[in-house]
Structure 1
């Protein structure tokens, strides 16, 4: 099991690339799913909405959770997307990559979650933090280089 990672951010296009960088050690599938889910928050709720991204791994699976403050705006998986469409593929990608996924609703928020095969380590580079707040740390605008990989038991 690797240590859980929690990212607190405001939904914005720049935050999406920061989330991808923060999840680099979890692999491309986790990065893609997180990117799509945060982008859905921006698209359906708007910029500036508080979002929490959580990642944990256990039992050969990586669990990704994206929480936003609107329990009514539920994700909808569309059957087919036209080749020329510029959007509408996010949940289809998540559905194809994830072992399973779903939504947990509470009165004041919802969490869209998915479980992906495999686990990866989460480590932080000493002296560098991402340009958004992580639980237990302060935010800065310094770049956050990819951390060294550590085995996840």
Structure 2
């Protein structure tokens, strides 16, 4: 059950759009939220890299209720390519890329992918902000 209206933004996945997106997430949550901002950055960045720059995406950020009042922040990024699935890599010290999902995995309580015929949604949940 969601406790407040979610932030929902339709935009083009462009590297130059990420700073404004991060600010909008911070404004929506109203508190410092580096982990949530990191997740949004990595998920949109993956669309830019693996689906293509300029791909239309929907970004959704919502506070959710949990058991005993332990809520979470859910981040979802939906894109139109059902085939380009995220893969958690084990980057070596010399690799110049491949750490994005590892960072997301480190800060998120859980994450996953929901596939549909017309696209996919990559989501994660971060512990509630205090």
- TM-score (structure 1 length as normaliser): 0.74
2:113 and 2:129 map into 1 onto residues whose CA distance is: 22
The answer as to whether partners of 1:52 and 1:68 remain within 8 angstroms in 2 is yes
1:21 match: 23
- TM-score (structure 2 length as normaliser): 0.86
Could you list the structure 1 runs, at least 4 aligned residues long, displaced by more than 6 angstroms after superposition: none
1:36 aligns with 2:66: no
Gaps of 5+ in 1: 121-153
**Offset, 1:83:** 2.0
Correspondences of 1:4-83 after superposition (within 5 Å)? 4-25=6-27, 26=29, 27-59=33-65, 60-78=71-89, 80-83=90-93
Count, aligned residues: 119
Root mean square deviation of aligned Cα: 1.3
1:18 and 1:84 map into 2 onto residues whose CA distance is: 31
- SS of the aligned residue for 1:96 comes to helix
Correspondences of 1:88-107 after superposition (within 5 Å)? 88-107=98-117
1:53 and 1:22 map into 2 onto residues whose CA distance is: 11
1:2 match: 4
Larger-gyration structure (1/2): 1
The answer as to whether partners of 1:58 and 1:119 remain within 8 angstroms in 2 is no
**Offset, 1:119:** 4.1
1:32 and 1:21 map into 2 onto residues whose CA distance is: 12
Gaps of 5+ in 2: 66-70
2:61 and 2:23 map into 1 onto residues whose CA distance is: 13
The answer as to whether partners of 1:66 and 1:113 remain within 8 angstroms in 2 is yes
